[in-house]
Amino acid sequence: MKQENNSNWIDYAVCVGIEAVIAFCVIWSKGFFTDSAAVNIQILADAFFVAGILMTLFACMMYISGEGALIGIGFVLRNVVLFFIPMGRAKHELYRDYRARKIREAKEHNNRHILVTGLIFLFIGVVFTFVWYMKFYNV
């Protein structure tokens, strides 16, 4: 149980690290310390929103892939590659056999940490946007 708990913390730490790098790249590309507080809050909102939305969309894509929605694309790409390899046609299998093998090989992955950290960063980005709107937006 302790080993599994340690693994979960490592997974969350890696996801937060990746999102922090994405947020830092956005902050760095927009020149964080060169403008006023209003612009800096906008930059922080953008940085956290971009990192959060990328990881959330990545988690959604992993879920879709894990459900077997992309098995057909994998089958087509595999056959295209085998077409160009000498004697590759000897490894050809029917789609029903390929699908059955892929579903049998599919493992249950718990990728909840990607979604949770992505939603947290997304929420922080929305909070910064709300703060900017309440403090600095003048109509």
pTM of the model: 0.78
Write out the DSSP string of 58-83: HHHHHHHHHTTTTHHHHHHHHHHHHH
Write out pLDDT tens, residues 116-139: 999 999 999 999 999 999 988 875
Write out pLDDT tens, residues 33-91: 777 888 899 999 999 999 999 999 999 998 888 777 888 888 888 888 888 888 767 77
Please report, for the chain, the start and end positions of each structural domain, with discontinuous segments joined by +.
Answer: 2-68+106-136
Residue ranges of alpha helices (H) inside the chain are: 2-30, 37-66, 71-84, 95-105, 112-136
Distance CA 125, CA 139 (A): 22
Other C-beta atoms closer than 10 Å to the C-beta of 9 total: 10
